[in-house]
Structure 1
Amino acid sequence: MAARILLAVLGIVVVTLAVGFALFARLTSQTADNRAIEQATGIAVTLGRVPQVAQALEGGDPGHLLPRLGEQVRADTGASYVVIIDRTGVRWSHPNPALIGRRVEEPVMALDGHVHTGINEGSLGRSANARAPVFDAAGKPVGEVSVGILESEVDVRLDAEFWDIAFYSAIALVLGIAASLLLARAIKRVTFGVEPAEIVALMQEREAMLHGIREGVLAVDAKGAINVLNDEARRLLGIETAHLGQRVEDVVPEGRLRRIITGETEGADLVAVTDEHLLVLNRMPVTVAGRHAGWVVTIRDRTELEALLRQLDSVEGLSTALRAQEHEFSNRLHVLSVLLELGEVGEATRYSRELQAETALASEEIRARIGSPVVAALLLAKMTVAAERDVVVRLDPASRLEAGQDEDLPVVTVLGNLVDNAVDAVADDPRTVGTQPRGEVVVALTCTGGALHVSVTDTGPGIPSDRLAEVFVDGYSTKQPRGSMRRGVGLALVHRLVTRAGGTIEASSPGGARFDVALPLRVREGVA
């Protein structure tokens, strides 16, 4: 990488200097030519206005004034040549004495009374030339003065400036080399010494790995901007339109999920409940070469697993209750069998009727008040399971629920979770150890004001007043985990379900714990 950067910077500097020098040389040459032409013009015009020059040209220069005058002016001004020519084109002065008295090849242009300038190819070489007319006393052109400054004189000036240019170019080249080396070191420090080819390979491997696993990965840099976000993380977090470089606060809504990702909530295997998923997140800081580079959040979808665990926990509770009932029924059958063997048919009949009445009483009471078969079955199941834990679950006498009123409402899930939490709170209350029963849970179901109202009250230890606002937060629980099932999820799920159904849920602690839920009833089509 350092070699590539060095060569690239050197190439850029050399090309830039070459182009700059070429442009400078061209501009300097043009400027020098213009200056030489101006200088030659000034000499020619001044000499053409000297009266003695016109008189010598008209009189044939008997005293040979013009050659001496031309050489003196050339020597004094530094011109390459000063040639005085009469109207017929005969030279009267020239640096080469052999050409004096000979005619010039080109016509005498200054006889028109104007000064003519340009770059000409003369007998002495390429030169910046100016031709000015020589005027007599009457102001009539009688000849011309041709003054030239050879290109070699201009080159001498360029050579004098060339070394200055070369010196400054060398300084620029040295600075370019130093800058390239510093840039290479800075880049290698940022990339931790990894070469470009290795970076490409790492990027390809990273992309293949991140998008090939079934676990969400979200990486955030030290400034809080997202720099890694695989497809599974987008799906689980519901941020399909998020782009790399955005901040977490801009794509993840306020709540427990964001607090876990940003590190405001710390811990391992933290639970967050969204509208679609139950997620387990772990946030790990990333340190590279002793520097904090950000953090990585892994996201696992535990929705189906948690549902299965809860279902398994319910099945275990039901199976325990069924085993207890089986043992109870076995005892009752033994009593009936012995009564019949003893010939006590009347007593056996009376005992059988008592058992039938006791079993059917609770069922008939619930069915008379609860028209929904599913809700009624749920209450009976919860009563049976709670009884095995010495907890009484009863239905409030004022409860009424007509068949169909719970249609399209999450009543079973909401009621089931609330009753389970209440039974757990009562059964685990250390204050009621040794009492029979340990406490009770009262369920109330009513439909008033266009809403289904569900109330679950228990006689457990209740909820501290300073924690009432936290009971619906993911992961909050006052109970110890039971088996593989996570605590602090049930009430969060209930809150999500109630909110999505457009209802409300409130928690209070008048003695034990009390939860009041209001679910708006669905208006059936065709019913006014």
Structure 2
Amino acid sequence: MKNWFHTITFKMISLISVLIIFICGTFLYLLQDHIRNMTENQMATQALNIASTIASMSEIIEAFDSENPSEVIQPITTKIQQEIGAAFIVIGNKEGTRYSHPIPGKIGGQMIGGDNEDVLVNGKSYVSKTRGSLGLSIRGKVPLIKNNEIIGVVSVGFLAKNIDHMIQDSFKRWLMYAALLFSFGIAGAFLISFYIKRLLFNMEPVQIAKLYEQHKIILETTMEGILAVGPDRNITTINHSAYEMIDPNKKAPLSKWMGTDIQHIFTREIALRDTIRNLEISLDGSIIILNKAPLLEKNKQIGSLYTMRNKTDIQRIADELKQAKQRANMQRAQTHEYANKLHIILGLLVHKKYEEAIQYIKREKNIQGQVKKMLNSNSKSPLLFALIQGKITEAAELGISMELKECHLSSTLNAKQEEALLTALGNVLQNAIEAVRGIKHSSLKLIQISIDEYKDRILFEIQDSGHGVSEELYATLFARGVSTKEGMDRGHGLAISKQALQSVGGEILLDEGDLPGACFLIILPR
């Protein structure tokens, strides 16, 4: 039990309880004055309004000309007094003689209180608090005027003792509410303390401090780059591995990156996207694999977590998987294409168009044979053959004509050159397919590939019949995040291709071709 008094639970319960007691006490003290002032002001306003209404009644004013005004005035004031619940309604003449009073025996006597002067002399309407024949009261006094002459006074009052009873009744209710709130507050203090303790996994501050140190050590010893951002996309956590990736030259200390907008590191599209899986991007001269996941708390996103890895052995595995996927797509496309062609042949045979069927078969065999013969006779790279053949088949499936105009490649590429070439050529061909895919007329969907070998370089030329590249993008086309297409995760393919080719001494350029669309030149040294 002694140790319990030193726990965070006991301290929070004690602090919250004292705070609630102080707030409730201060609230009741101020509330009492507020209720009194509000009630008295309300009664005073009501008294003054009623007195003004009575003073404007023609029956009251005309009664002053009668021999016995009280016979007319007393019934009227008695009825109004009962309806509004006032303590008294007294009407007197200019000399202060009463024409009405809640006690009929006092009619004809002088009005008591000494507060009629401003009304009868100056014609003012006002509220006073003074003691009369019935006791201390709040009065609303209004002059009676006939033909611009003051002829009397109307006094409507509420007894102070009755107002005190009203205030006490109201205050008692608020006192009960305060007691109820106090009980709920104490109960809430217990619930909040235990809730916070549960949020802290039943740990004390000392234990939390130790956990924080362990968390810090884990972050610093993890080889994978870790970045955490809050809901405003500013960095809240960054480990040393991530710091070396985003600032390899250490232009700014690690602490300076805290609070930095993540868009200063990645593109806006990446910053806005909730989830990213194995996105390959170029970051400060290095190719990294980026993953992003939302940080959730009770199904509400409170930030995002970025993890980054340098592309080393992962790149080799990813390329192998990519090539396997390309082969699978090639086989699927070929199967689909051949099935379509078999249906055409079947239709020609059903309609007994034997000669047309024979010519169609010969033409298709000649086209496929020429492409395969050209690739097999010149290409020293089976992977390059598979890539080009797969893209030709994929394009044909989409109604796009992809022509291999020339193929002169007798040199053998090393592993790094082949890897860079496959990355660049795959991206450019895919971009070309997407560029002409939207053209309505199939006769205008054309992509041309030519491979030429020179003394000191190998040149790949890829041109399409799309809409080309606008002049404002020429200078920045190969920069990360720049793209002619809309959508997320755009503008990485050409940047990665350029970096891959430059790593083996090659280059990728944008040139003018014979077709109206873009013309890319991929250059590799021999």
Q: TM-score range by the shorter chain?
A: 0.3 to 0.5
Q: TM-score, normalised by structure 1?
A: 0.45
TM-score, structure 2 normalization: 0.45
Structure 1 or 2, whichever has the larger Rg, is 1
